């Protein structure tokens, strides 16, 4: 059993963890829950040797330990799978998995064959059907996550910490992951599982620990808990996300997509997709990993110029969109899935990020008007309830939820008619999530057409008027949101071809 006693961790005078107690018993899965900023990741970094300067004690196998670095923790049998992937893109899966612990033969040279064989076995166990020689850069995010898990399995660790392992993988991959966790439990390993997805925790976890504001709020058996109880403990108040009540209104047509196909080399990523979005309507698009969800939004927004076939029209007028700036001209906005990679200039301040889409309007006599820019930023900081001391705060210093709000703000500033949202609440905490849900519904009520792409069915159900399902680049089903079950959606999303 790994026990953390009275752990306190400060960052230059600021307390991130305040006397936290935690135990991870062998043979059990412990769920660690809490809002973003509650201290989960800090705690895991203490356990896995990333931080050494904490107060309190770690007790492992009956002895007090203090790891000097993550490698020491790994050698002691404690391993962490980070939320952000730590893989090297231009090395193969095998090379990544064995990085820093390469097998050598009697001559001191790399034993390629043996490493490849071990990797192959691991991939098979994780049901990732690619060659061990595949470069990481050729894998999708979800597959990369699986490789990260394979890396942890190779260590044969006794304590495995998973930080949001399912945030980027498809349901099918989640099933595989769960069966692996089941194996680990049976092999008497301790698993710590951090996730925002409570449903997963109810399936997998034996025990739970709730953190709030750097303190342990509660811990115990999973059986004693309910969804609502968890949420109340995490946020210290009741938050409810209701399923949207059925509406059968007719919406005035805003966007019409006709026969969109996307070719990537010889592969057809999207195949002849047609749908409409009305003014004030929220259209949810569900699909598993690789279904073409993100690509569909990107194709509409002009990011795949040259490879896209098909027609678009806005307000019954045909539009030609070759670049994102054409799309913006046409009244569209795209909030991308990966806000750090595609949404924000992290080193820029909030004001700079927010004004990036509308700088033209902030010019007077060819020079940027600083005051208008600050006013714009202040307006959306207030409107979207962004928690920051000022508009000069750098984007990278904010939490995920607040970062997402900056991205939303920068697009709302363009006064769009159509909002394309790709996984709008990925990796953000429950409180920010419900705020963003409210915002989306409010914007729809103001007459914006909204497309929400999500891999979480409850999210789709909570937001949409109409639900489209993609599988393998094809539109496989369309449901009115008030008359559909989760099972029906999932069934339509599962690829039919083998």
Q: How far is the CB of 302 from other proteins (least distance, A)?
A: 9
Q: What is the pattern of x (binds other proteins, CB under 8 A) and - over residues 389-428?
A: x---x---xxxx---------x------------------
With CB under 8 A as the contact rule, the residue among 220, 236, 347, 480 that binds other proteins is: 347
Residue 299 has, within 13 A of its CA and on its CB side, a CA count of 28
Q: Closer CB to other proteins, residue 55 or residue 363? A: 363
Q: Closer CB to other proteins, residue 287 or residue 352? A: 352
Stretch that binds other proteins, among 201-209, 249-257, 351-359, 429-437 (CB under 8 A): 351-359
Residue 194 burial (C-beta neighbours within 10 Å; 0-12, 13-18, 19+): buried
CA 404/CA 354 separation, integer angstroms: 11
Residue 144 has, within 13 A of its CA and on its CB side, a CA count of 19
Stretch that binds other proteins, among 61-69, 131-139, 328-336, 435-443 (CB under 8 A): 328-336
Instruction: Confirm or reject binding of residue 41 to other proteins (CB under 8 A).
Output: yes
Q: How far is the CB of 357 from other proteins (least distance, A)?
A: 5
Stretch that binds other proteins, among 34-42, 53-61, 174-182, 479-487 (CB under 8 A): 34-42
Q: What is the pattern of x (binds other proteins, CB under 8 A) and - over residues 438-457?
A: --------------------
Q: Alpha helices of 167-251 — where are they, by DSSP H?
A: 171-186, 198-204, 227-235
Q: How far is the CB of 326 from other proteins (least distance, A)?
A: 9
Whether the CB-CB separation of 335 and 343 falls below 8 Å is answered with: yes
Beta strands 282-287 and 55-60 are unpaired
Give 40's contacts (C-beta < 8 A, 6+ positions apart). 32, 33, 34, 163, 194, 211
Instruction: Confirm or reject binding of residue 170 to other proteins (CB under 8 A).
Output: no
With CB under 8 A as the contact rule, the residue among 4, 33, 39, 145 that binds other proteins is: 39
CA 431/CA 425 separation, integer angstroms: 11
Neighbour count for residue 446 (Cβ, 10 Å): 9
Q: Contacts with other proteins in 3-32 (CB under 8 A)? A: 11-16
List C-alpha distances in Å: 59 to 16, 31, 47, 242, 301. Answer: 21, 19, 10, 43, 53
Q: Contacts with other proteins in 354-383 (CB under 8 A)? A: 355-357, 359-360, 363, 366-368
CA dihedral 414, 417, 418, 421 (to 10 degrees): 50
Q: Closer CB to other proteins, residue 2 or residue 16? A: 16
Q: How far is the CB of 190 from other proteins (least distance, A)?
A: 21
Instruction: Confirm or reject binding of residue 327 to other proteins (CB under 8 A).
Output: yes
Q: Closer CB to other proteins, residue 203 or residue 322? A: 322
Whether the CB-CB separation of 83 and 148 falls below 8 Å is answered with: no
Q: How far is the CB of 166 from other proteins (least distance, A)?
A: 20
Closest to 217 (Cα-Cα) out of 432, 22, 28 = 22
With CB under 8 A as the contact rule, the residue among 71, 101, 387, 491 that binds other proteins is: 387
Q: Closer CB to other proteins, residue 124 or residue 363? A: 363
Stretch that binds other proteins, among 64-72, 313-321, 338-346, 426-434 (CB under 8 A): 338-346
With CB under 8 A as the contact rule, the residue among 123, 209, 231, 328 that binds other proteins is: 328
Q: How far is the CB of 414 from other proteins (least distance, A)?
A: 8
Q: How far is the CB of 343 from other proteins (least distance, A)?
A: 6
Whether the CB-CB separation of 261 and 309 falls below 8 Å is answered with: yes
Size of residue set near other proteins by CB under 8 A: 49
| SS3 state at 59 | strand
CA 459/CA 440 separation, integer angstroms: 12
List C-alpha distances in Å: 419 to 334, 367, 392. Answer: 6, 29, 26
Q: Closer CB to other proteins, residue 28 or residue 83? A: 83
CA 339/CA 194 separation, integer angstroms: 21
Q: Contacts with other proteins in 171-200 (CB under 8 A)? A: none
Q: How far is the CB of 183 from other proteins (least distance, A)?
A: 29
CA 231, 236, 238, 244 torsion-angle sign: negative
CA 472/CA 270 separation, integer angstroms: 8
Please report, as ranges, the residues that interact with other proteins according to CB under 8 A.
11-16, 36-37, 39, 41-42, 45, 51, 301, 303, 323-325, 327-328, 334, 336, 341-348, 352, 355-357, 359-360, 363, 366-368, 387-389, 393, 397-400, 410
């Amino acid at each position: 059993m790994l026990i953390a006693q009275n752990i306190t961790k400060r960052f230059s005078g600021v307390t991130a963890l305040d006397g936290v107690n935690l135990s991870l018993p062998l043979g059990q899965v412990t769920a660690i829950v809490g809002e973003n900023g509650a201290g989960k990741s800090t705690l895991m970094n203490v356990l896995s040797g990333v931080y050494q300067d904490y107060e309190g004690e770690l007790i492992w196998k009956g002895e007090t330990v203090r790891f000097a670095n993550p490698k020491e923790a790994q050698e002691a049998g404690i391993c962490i799978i980070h939320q952000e992937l730590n893989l090297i893109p231009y090395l193969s899966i095998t090379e990544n998995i064995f990085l820093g612990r390469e097998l050598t033969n009697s001559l001191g040279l790399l034993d390629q064959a043996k490493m490849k064989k071990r990797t192959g076995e691991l991939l098979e166990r994780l049901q990732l059907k690619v060659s061990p020689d595949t470069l990481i850069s050729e894998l999708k995010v979800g597959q990369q996550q699986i490789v990260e898990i394979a890396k942890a399995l190779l260590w044969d660790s006794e304590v495995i910490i998973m930080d949001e392992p399912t945030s980027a993988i498809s349901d099918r991959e989640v099933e595989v992951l769960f069966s692996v966790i089941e194996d680990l439990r049976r092999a008497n390993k301790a698993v710590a599982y951090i996730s925002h997805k409570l449903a997963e925790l109810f399936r997998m976890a034996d025990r739970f620990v709730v953190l709030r504001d750097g303190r342990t709020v509660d811990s115990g058996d999973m059986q004693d808990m309910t969804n609502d109880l968890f949420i109340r403990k995490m946020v210290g108040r009741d938050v409810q996300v209701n399923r949207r009540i059925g509406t059968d209104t007719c919406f005035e047509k805003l966007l019409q997509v006709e026969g969109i196909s996307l070719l990537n080399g010889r592969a057809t990523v999207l195949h002849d997709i047609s749908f409409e979005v009305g003014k004030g309507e929220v259209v949810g698009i569900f699909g598993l990993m690789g279904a073409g969800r993100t690509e569909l939004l990107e194709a509409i927004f002009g990011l795949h110029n040259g490879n896209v076939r098909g027609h678009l029209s806005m307000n019954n007028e045909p539009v030609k969109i070759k670049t994102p700036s054409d799309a913006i001209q046409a009244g569209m906005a795209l909030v991308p899935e990966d806000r750090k990679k595609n949404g924000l200039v992290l080193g820029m301040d909030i004001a700079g990020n927010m004004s990036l889409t509308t700088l033209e309007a902030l010019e007077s006599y060819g020079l940027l008007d600083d005051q208008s820019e600050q006013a714009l930023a202040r307006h959306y900081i207030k409107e979207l309830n962004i928690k920051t001391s000022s508009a000069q705060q750098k984007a990278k210093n904010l939490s995920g939820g607040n970062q997402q709000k900056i991205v939303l703000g920068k697009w709302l500033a363009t006064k769009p008619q159509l909002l394309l949202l790709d996984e709008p609440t990925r990796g953000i905490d429950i409180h920010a999530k419900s705020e963003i849900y409210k915002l989306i519904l409010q914007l729809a009520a103001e007459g914006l057409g909204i497309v929400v792409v999500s891999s979480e069915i409850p999210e789709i159900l909570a937001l949409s008027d109409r639900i489209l399902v993609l599988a393998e680049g094809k539109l496989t089903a369309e449901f009115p949101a008030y008359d559909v079950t989760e099972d029906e959606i999932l069934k339509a999303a599962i690829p039919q071809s083998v």
